[in-house]
Structure 1
Amino acid sequence: MAGFLTPDQLAARTSRARDAAVAAGRALGLTVTDARVLHDVFSVVVHLAPSPVVVRVPTVLPSYADPDTQAARQRRELDVVGWLAQQGTPVIPPSPLVPAEPVRRDEFSMTFWQYVEQDSGTEPDYVRNSGLVAGLHAALRAYPGRVPFLSAAEPEFVTDALAVLQERPDLLPAADLDRARREWEILEPVVRTRAGFEAAFPGVGFQPIHGDAPAVNIVSTEGGELYSDFELVTYGPVEWDLAALGPEGEAAYNAAARRAGLRALDERAVRLVNAVGASRAVACLALAPQLPLLVEALEPALDTWRAAPFAGGLSGLSADG
């Protein structure tokens, strides 16, 4: 595939990220003799064994993610998760062995987290996990810090990616690109600003939220489930965290929300976040040259999008009210 990183180039990137994590850990005083790569998709995740520390090194990034932007996002994540841990919320916390700050090493910006032994014999139950998200929302409501409005929607990324895909018909056919652009003209003003969302969805409240499919990012351990991966933590409607989880996941969330004294999901807002999620999935094709596996991995999401109503059936939506 023209313009795609080769397997050797991908392996070299993984190796550079691993080496940077090891060097950064040692510079912070950690003992590292048996570093292992645990995960390698959008980030390279490295266990700095024997130290009980895991480093997450983002490697596949949108064009606008300069070092300052990336570090600001990582600081928000560390602050929110550190606060949740102090409140007793079951999260994978920042490592207590190093300062809770992003570290720049070589061309990478990385964060350091406590290592936890995962229960590899447990299959993820996303419906059950959807119910657990209500507990996370209950905890996040009291977060005293500030996080930006729906930054997890990444409107700049989607807009830029659609421009990139204009030049890559091998990644997205012209008819699909035309639909994606027309949908984004409707959806983008609603998620770009708080005022735009409030105009289109009056009465739907906001709070700090996880931002990146928390039901998928719940880790099972022998001691119970832990919330993880708050890279896209943001402020917005709780519906955002339930995107693409379907009616069963929504029902599980609503039942748990009622028990926790939280509001139920707004059906129209769910349709919106599902449509925006589909736009982001299309946009992710622009990252395929950096991560070729996305071409195949995104096929089910794209098929679902093609079969879905235009703009989630919200084509009359207006951010102007």
Structure 2
Amino acid sequence: MSTGNGSADPQTTTARAVAAATEAARELGVEVTEPRVLYEAFSVVVHLAPAPLVARVPTVLPAVPSWNLDLLTARQRNELDVTAWLAEQGVPVAGPSSLVPREPVRGDGFSITYWRYLTPLPDLEPDYAPKPEAVAELHAHLRGYPGDLPFLTTFTEFVPEALRVLESRPDLLRPEDVDRARREWAVLAPVVGSRERFEAEFPGVDLQPVHGDAPSYNLIRAEEGTVYADFELVSIGPRERDMALTGEEAVAAYDVAAARHGLRPLDRRVLAVVENLGMLEAVSSLALVDQLPLLAEALPPMVEQWRSSEFAGGLGRHSD
């Protein structure tokens, strides 16, 4: 599976991403003399110094027929719009930069977004503990978002075709695992692929804008304060999606915080299903190992957890 941007060499891809982000920023009138990579994994994140401007360039993209740059750009517009709206409401968020138009920019096969630079705190120890109270507060803010968002599209856009890739890669995922994943997806896809089917399956479970990518961990601590970040997968969905795989203690703490904001407690049946979806998405991400080799070490523990989990999060059992 090749990269979505045409290069299989991570170093070459990073260099291209930095050059594309720099050139596009200069064309927008920003002085850039010292671009510096801050982070790279699924995206290359670049501080375009001396400007207080950060570029994020997605580089690890599914090379499957359903995926194209227009789809990525649509996601990026949603992220820019949601974070800009949150910032207008006074919510601490890593928002778009005011130095350039609030719009993804194309360059050298990439789709680039630009963000406000946040000053990192020196010698800060990583904090990987869940922050359920912060997630509940974010959900309370997001309920008011007035724009249109898709319904849980990140699963349907990626999982089925990634599993097709893995059918021919037993070095990445055992055939019996691929078989289970495909059978699970057959149970889950009709429900997560349709808002109407989801609401029929889970009556009374309200849907709203959700972060989509573990907001409990996507908090940036900077000199400007602690802010919510990385809304790349923002969509309409159940709030359970944002608390998946955080553990029962974090879920209980979320319920207490949610009550303070007038939100219902998490539905454990929905939580089991979205946790299975999250694991299935991680298993499917093995199809991206050639682009991002670190996944070969990062994903096996999740694969083991998935193997021991209840099939389809119990959805098939409840549907009998």
TM-score bracket relative to the smaller structure: over 0.9
Residue 80 of structure 1: how far off its partner (Å): 0.7
For residues 17-96 of structure 1, the aligned pairs below 5 Å read 17-62=17-62, 63=64, 64-96=66-98
Deviation at 1:8, TM superposition (A): 8.7
Of 271-280 and 57-66, the range deviating more from structure 2: 57-66
CA distance in 1, matches of 2:19, 2:108: 10
Task: Decide whether the 8 Å contact of 1:20 with 1:106 is kept in 2.
Answer: yes
The CA deviation string for residues 123-164 of structure 1, in whole angstroms up to 9 with x for no partner, is: 32433x121011111111111111011123x21310001111
Task: Tell me if 1:171 matches 2:137.
Answer: no
Normalised to the residue count of structure 2, the TM-score between the two structures is 0.94
1:61 corresponds to which letter in structure 2?
A: L
For the residues of structure 2 that align with 1:51 and 1:170, how far apart are their CA atoms? 45
- Contact 1:137-1:238 at 8 Å conserved across structures: yes
**Cα RMSD for the two superposed structures:** 1.9
Q: Report the counterpart of residue 11 of structure 2 in structure 1.
A: 11
Give the aligned length: 315
1:31-58 per-residue CA deviation (whole Å, 9 max, x = no partner) reads 1111111111100000001110000000
1:262-301 Cα offsets, whole Å, 9 max, x none, are 1110010100100011110111011112112111110111
Do 2:67 and 2:157's aligned partners in 1 also have CA atoms closer than 8 Å?
Answer: no
Which ranges in structure 1 are unaligned for 5 or more consecutive residues?
none
User: Which region of structure 1 is more displaced relative to structure 2, 305-314 or 92-101?
Assistant: 305-314
Measured against aligned partners, the alpha-carbon deviations of 1:1-51 in whole angstroms (never above 9, x if no partner) come to x989xx992111110001111111111111111111111110000000111
Matches within 5 A, 1:126-145: 126-127=129-130, 129-145=131-147
CA distance in 1 between partners of 2:251 and 2:128 (Å): 14
Does the residue aligned with 2:149 lie in a helix, a strand or coil? coil
Output aligned runs, 1:203-242, within 5 Å. Answer: 203-242=204-243
Q: How does 1:170-319 map to 2 (within 5 A)?
A: 170-318=171-319
State the Cα distance separating 1:317 from its structure 2 match. Answer: 4.0
What CA distance in whole angstroms lies between the structure 1 residues aligned with 2:10 and 2:187? 36
CA distance in 1, matches of 2:170, 2:68: 27
The share of aligned pairs that are identical, in percent, is 53
Q: Any conservation in 2 of the 1:200–1:317 contact (CA below 8 Å)?
A: no
The 8 Å contact of residues 150 and 191 in structure 1, kept in 2 or not, is answered as yes
Contact 1:126–1:249, Cα closer than 8 Å, also in 2: no
Runs of 4 or more consecutive aligned structure 1 residues displaced over 4 Å after TM superposition? none
Gaps of 5+ in 2: none
Equivalent in the alignment of 1:107:
109
TM-score by length of 1: 0.94
Change (3 A) 1:169 1:3: farther
One-letter amino acid of the counterpart of residue 108, structure 2: D
Residue 161 of structure 1 is matched in structure 2 by 162
